[in-house]
A and B are shown apart, each in its own frame.
Chain A
Amino acid sequence: MDFSLNKREELFLQMIRKFAAEEVQPLAAEVDDQERFPIETVEKMAKIGIMGIPIPVQYGGQGATNQMYIMAVEELSKVCATTGVIVSAHTSLCMNPILEFGTEEQKMKYLPKLASGEWIGAFGLTEPNAGTDAAMQQTTAVLDGDEWVLNGSKIFITNAGYAHVYVIMAMTDKSLGTKGISAFIVEKGTPGFSIGKKEKKMGIRGSATCELIFENCRIPKANLLGELGKGFKIAMMTLDGGRIGIASQALGIAQGALDATVKYTKERKQFGKTLAQFQNTQFQMANLETKVQAARLLVRQAAWKKDMHLPYSVDAAMAKLYCAETAMETTTKCVQFHGGYGYTREYEIERMMRDAKITEIYEGTSEVQRMVIAGKLFK
């Protein structure tokens, strides 16, 4: 494994940092405050290829690596975690399962428009009664002639409403348990498919998080994704990839908080010295810096294994667990360094702490990651 950046990755990093600084960062506070989906940013990202980074060129993507994709999520999340998760959910949770499990027809139909950013993608697994226990799917799909008929609802769906393409899990045979779950592709505007309540959230407030409602929603038979009954496996494998994205989002938040705090503690004076001159500051910040760098290596390792087509499920779980907890710890401590100012919305550190919390929860809580890691440990 060599994690030093090659020249191409350096150039990519230069581009994405400039884009984040000029186009994303200036909107971050407003997007959070207004709970507004930054659709204009998505259009700008589409134009330069950020919406299809790891998708092969033959499907209209950029043919870049997962390493480059996670670098993009990290850099975007450093300045705006909302923008980071839009790209992550779109790429890892929607395009990725279509790429890995879709038929050639499905790939040709959906990927070029998703990878170009003309369409946004989303993923629906979670239900009111099926969160961490995802096997308890109550949404059903019944074959009726040439069509599947979907009924039920999904909640907490990222990019909902703005997305055109939804990868949806539904029960096709309840008697088979998890083996009775199948995956489907549902397009926006299909009769019987509607967007329900929009959540008001603690953090990543610009990301659209809504309920999806299926009432006798009829989709073509050809929209079954992967084999019948393989939906749970598809969902779990999709989340493995998604966790690399969320780990990168958490890493970005942590790094952003650290950068802001280094700047602040070098400027802010108390008792005649800058905060950075106090040993307590230096030691605590050194600890955080070390953790953030360790987190980065874990996420790079997981992405590298994915690029090499090696098993990476446990690596992704470790990366997500560690990055999320590091983000929470780092932002909490960085708010403390900012004192009273850090508790106000004058400083972006306040938003970062609220944004960090979700990374310990979605796409598998930290407890789920521990289950995955322990599962391997004690197998």
Chain B
Amino acid sequence: MNIIVTIKQVPNTNVIKINPVTGTLIRDGVPSILNPDDASALEMALQLKDKFGAHVTVITMGPPQADAICREAFAMGADRAILLSDRKFAGADTLATSYALSGAIKTLDYDLILAGRQAIDGDTAQTPVSLAQHLDLPQVTYATNLDFDGKKLCTVTKETEEGYQILEVETPCVLTVLSSAIKPRYMTVKGIMEAYDKEVEVWGADKLDVEEARLGLSGSPTRVKKSFTKPQKQPGEIFEVDPEEAVEIIVKKLKEKHII
């Protein structure tokens, strides 16, 4: 069984801060990490590897520095890593990104594609779904659990607003995985010792089964017109008081605002 896991290197948005003077993002010193949902997708793949002996390939698109998350995937237990890195991919939106990924995946043997639900830098959740469309594969998004019969049938639990659904789909298919559902394993010391002895395959556009015009900026229908930080709200009044006084202050405010 061959499993492909799509992964992305993202800035850790939890530690991004805004420069209060210029109102711009401070990206210096913000660590780049393996996107959390993707780590969980990789965990799901590695559990299948533990159970069925699957061969796990991670694939990512990004600058050469994205090598780091490929090593991390090796250290967790991935068997092969492919990094799509080429200036021709630059400026890609989700449509062009998923197209490039599909062009690489078409050249590989696979039974199952697992992806994180969404990346924490963009939060769009669009790339894996578009990838499924490019490859003409069925998809199940928001997966929290996968029961695989070892042959073809995937029984997937999908989280919904109201509860969950149980869906059946045969391989090959694309599943997107929630980080809240499955905790990724830690890299092992042994995995780390071996991670830099393996090869991360770096592929340019010429290796892919694609039309070049549909890559990068030229293949992207959307354009960022402008980006800005939100105007900071003026802080309100703060009181450091005992509980009895606190109650009085709150009740006064609620009356003033006609809440009660």
Contacts and interface: CB of A to CB of B under 8 A. Distances in A.
Pair from one complex:
yes
Interface of A: 7-8, 11-12, 14-15, 18-19, 47-50, 52-53, 62-64, 68
Contacts of A68: 189
B192 A12 contact: yes
Contacts of A14: 72, 187
B192 A11 contact: yes
Contacts of B68: 7, 11
Interface of B: 68, 71-72, 75, 185-190, 192-193, 195-196
B187 A15 contact: yes
24 contacts: A7-B71, A8-B193, A11-B72, A11-B75, A11-B187, A11-B192, A11-B195, A11-B196, A12-B192, A14-B72, A15-B187, A19-B186, A47-B186, A47-B188, A48-B185, A48-B188, A48-B189, A49-B189, A49-B190, A50-B189, A53-B189, A62-B190, A63-B193, A64-B189
A7 B75 CA distance: 12
Contact of A49 (B71, B72, B188, B195): B188
A11 B196 CA distance: 10
* Top 7 closest pairs, chain A to chain B, by CB: A49-B189, A62-B189, A15-B187, A48-B188, A48-B186, A49-B188, A12-B192
Contacts of B192: 8, 11-12, 15, 64
A18 B186 contact: yes
Contacts of A53: 189
Given A11-B192, A15-B192, A63-B193, 6 more contacts: A8-B193, A8-B196, A11-B187, A14-B187, A15-B187, A47-B186
A47 B75 CA distance: 14
A48 B187 contact: yes
Contacts of B189: 12, 15, 48-50, 52-53, 62, 64, 68
Contacts of B71: 7, 11
Q: Determine the main DSSP class of B at the interface with A.
A: helix
A199 B68 CA distance: 46
**Which of B71, B185, B186, B196 has the most chain A CB atoms closer than 10 A to its own CB?**
B186
Contacts of B185: 48
A5 to B, nearest CB: 12
Contacts of B190: 49, 62-63
Contacts of B72: 11, 14
A15 B193 contact: no
Contact of B193 (A48, A50, A62): A62
B185 to A, nearest CB: 8
Nearest to B184: A18
A210 to B, nearest CB: 29
B42 to A, nearest CB: 14
A83 B189 CA distance: 17
Contacts of A11: 68, 71-72, 75, 187, 192, 195-196
A7 B68 CA distance: 9
B39 to A, nearest CB: 11
Contacts of B195: 8, 11
Contacts of B75: 11, 15
Most chain B CB inside 10 Å of its own CB: which residue of A11, A12, A19, A63: A11
A62 B71 CA distance: 17
A213 B72 CA distance: 46
A15 B186 contact: yes
A8 B190 CA distance: 11
Nearest to A69: B189
A250 B186 CA distance: 26
A19 B75 CA distance: 14
B220 to A, nearest CB: 32
